[in-house]
Amino acid sequence: MTAVLSETRTLTYAEAVREALGQAMEADDRVFLLGEDVGVYGGAFGVTGDLVHRFGEERIRDTPISELGIVGAAVGAALAGMRPVVEIQFSDFTAQAMDQIVNQAAKIHFMLGGAATVPMVLRAPSGSGTGAAAQHSQSLEAWFAHVPGLKVVMPATPADAKALLLAAIDDPNPVIVLEHKLLYKQSGPVPEDATPARLGEAAVRRTGTDVTIVATGVMVSRSLEAADRLAQLGIQASVVDPRTLKPLDSKTIVDSVIGTGRALLVQEAPKTAGFMAEIAATIGESTAFGYLRAPIARLCGLDVPIPYAPQLERAVVPQVDDIVREAEELVRKW
């Protein structure tokens, strides 16, 4: 007999997110969306699309321009038994809602001794590359990863955009889902009957023997492109995508570094106090330390606000050429 395989289509990242939202809303009447322009307009980046026509304005709720109020309403709804999914137009605007995110959503379960949960998802477009300048282009994952009680997800592929969002909606805890703006139009295979992923499981996107590149968000695809070019130089790179920062799958990262003896950690966010510093510490405190043949290297954005000018915007965050250069130097020098 021939095995029947799940049909896999090619979807854009944005389509995969929208499909996950629709699937979750069909499966559970408690799931609803709220945010600025998520209804008829379809979302700032077109992600929510026609969901308002499918589910109506009661479940696709356009809100006033008040991030603090939006997240506060979602926290209250979650405490009352609903499963709200918040869309913040730009991740930068979470700064307006940090009291509700950090002091309420993240802490209520603990402060009430486990008697209440906050099953809230907050989706936010992050990162640079669209010419949106300093107040609309930041990578703030380290803010949220630092807060006990929050889970943090950074899908890098359309398939993960769907599977990880479904997992986030199913989770009884508040989950921050950071979607890189440059990924929305990228296409990839997405199984039609995709099931929720397990939060806390990294993905090894490519295996190699000379260096492990750990990358998040849009840097995953750039690292894979860099790995292809490194292979032409005789350097075989592994590429590990953590997928979730909290909980972090440290074992997969450590095992890869043990196998290669070198680690290049790539993020778009500025270097100082960025999440890759946490991964560097994780490697340094693990059994991988004894296998290192070179110092742990970090390739990060510069410690500057994101410029508006396109050439400057590209210059302050790692590009494929930068990853190739740093990885080659790490291998050749050590």
Which sequence positions are flagged as catalytic?
A: 67, 136
Q: Which two tokens stand for residue 242?
A: 């953590």
What is the distance between the alpha carbons of residues 261 and 129, in angstroms, rounded to a whole number? Answer: 32
Contact 170, 4 (CB under 8 A): no
Residue among 327, 272, 325, 262 at smallest CA distance from 300: 272
Q: What are phi and psi of 155, to 5 degrees?
A: -65, 140
What is the helix (H) or strand (E) element at residue 259, kind and residue range? helix 250-260
Q: What are phi and psi of 172, to 5 degrees?
A: -80, 0
The CB-side HSE value for 156 (13 A sphere, CA atoms) comes to 24
Contact 286, 258 (CB under 8 A): no
Instruction: Provide the sign of the torsion angle of the four alpha carbons 38, 43, 46, 47, taken in this order.
Output: negative
Give 114: exposed, middle or buried? Use CB within 10 Å, 0-12, 13-18, 19+.
exposed
